[in-house]
Amino acid sequence: MGLSRQLIACAAGGRAFAENDNPEKPISIFYLPVEGATDIRYWETDSIEVDPDSLLLYRERSLERLPVFGGFLGRFTRSNPGKELWCRITYLTADSVHVCNAIRLKMPDEPTLVAHSAVDIRETRPGYPKFTWEDPSSENVIYFQVISDAAGDLLTGTYTFDQNWQFYDLNNVVININDIYTNPQLSPLAKYQFTLMGVSVDNWVHTFASKPFVIEP
């Protein structure tokens, strides 16, 4: 069985981030499971002062696992460790062990900034809203944006290095995690949610925002 690192994951946390969720477990570790993924596990180090690339230093920890965006993503929830740690997610497919890059849990000193008002949504073309955002953090190197429907199910999931993205233009998209719909459409008067995560080089979400929008008829 081969080893693969093609597992997308990141983490976010803090009181503001978890205020409408579970303040007892303010850290969420998000991951993208491929079809057929099994035996999904969470691992972490005892401290931050270790080599994050040494897989032998990670110990498995049993955490609650929940679906996100209708199960398209998953997440583990964790209480505040009171210190920084490295963590990883793993799962199995038929012929490989998938391991994500090391994630730095930057709690309690660098909680995720919640900045809903930083996002601006304008329908510059009928049915094709443009999303722009200001980022109060200088740590982020890439942005993950999701459009979900009224049921909370994911419609599109994309990554960009820019602080803007227009539906459904892939010119500035560096990773497209959703290939279910080759030409996704937004319906007039339907309710949607735009979710943004600004992610640092060590896979911690420094900025989080979420904003509802409706397509004009």
Helix and strand numbers (H, E) in the chain are 1, 19
Q: What's the CATH number of domain 113-214, 3.30.565.10, 2.60.40.10, 3.40.50.720, 3.40.50.12590? A: 2.60.40.10
Residue-wise pLDDT tens digits, 95-144 = 899 999 999 999 999 999 999 999 999 998 899 999 999 999 999 999 99
For 195-215, what is the mean pLDDT?
97
Residue-wise pLDDT tens digits, 47-93 = 999 999 999 999 999 999 999 999 999 999 999 999 999 999 999 99
Q: What is this structure's pTM?
A: 0.95
Sign for the CA dihedral angle at 88, 60, 24, 49 comes to: negative
Same fold, 2-105 and 113-214: yes
Question: Domains of the chain: which residue ranges?
Answer: 2-105, 113-214
CATH of domain 2-105: 2.60.40.10
Burial of residue 206 (CB within 10 Å: 0-12, 13-18, 19+) is buried
Other CB atoms within 10 A of residue 12 CB: 27
Query: How many angstroms separate the CA atoms of 67 and 73, rounded?
Result: 6
Query: How many angstroms separate the CA atoms of 98 and 14, rounded?
Result: 28
